[in-house]
Amino acid sequence: MTTFHLVDPEICPLIEMLPMPDFTRETLPAIRQAMADRYVPGFVPAMLPEILTTTGRDRAPDVPLYVYNPESRRRNRPAILHIH
């Protein structure tokens, strides 16, 4: 089964130039290892968060707050509110 027909035709020549491994049960462990060897970890914050909680509304569970304080601790720092 192929999904090549779903690819934008403008980039098909580029994709055809890339080496494409033969995915089989025998080759899959080596392919996974090769991908893991190329992995570069992303950004790791230089600080750990202070984890606080605030009470949820109307008997909702407490809400965790992750507070990251950089060494500078200057006033008027930005904040990110992430609601999932």
Tell me how many domains the chain contains. 1
CB count in 10 Å sphere of residue 68: 13
Q: Does a structural domain hold residue 47?
A: no
Sign of CA dihedral 23, 24, 25, 27: negative
**What is the residue-averaged pLDDT of the chain?**
86
Give the model's pLDDT for residue 27. 94
Q: Is residue 14 part of a domain?
A: yes
* Cα distances (Å, whole numbers) of residue 18 to 13, 14, 15, 36, 62: 9, 7, 5, 19, 50
pLDDT value at residue 46: 75
pLDDT, one tens digit per residue, over 26-78 is 999 999 999 899 988 777 767 788 899 999 889 899 989 888 887 777 778 77
Please tell me the distance from the alpha carbon of residue 61 to that of residue 22, in angstroms, as a whole number.
50
Domain extent at residue 32: 4-38
The residues with which 51 forms a beta bridge, in sequence order, are 66
Consecutive H or E run containing 54: strand 50-54
Per the domain annotation, does 9 fall within a domain? yes
User: Would the pTM of this model clear 0.75, i.e. be above it?
Assistant: no
So what's the pLDDT on residue 55? Answer: 92
Specify if 19 maps to a domain.
Answer: yes
Residue 26 domain-assigned (yes or no): yes
Instruction: Tell which residue, 56, 57, 74, has the closest CA to residue 65.
Output: 56
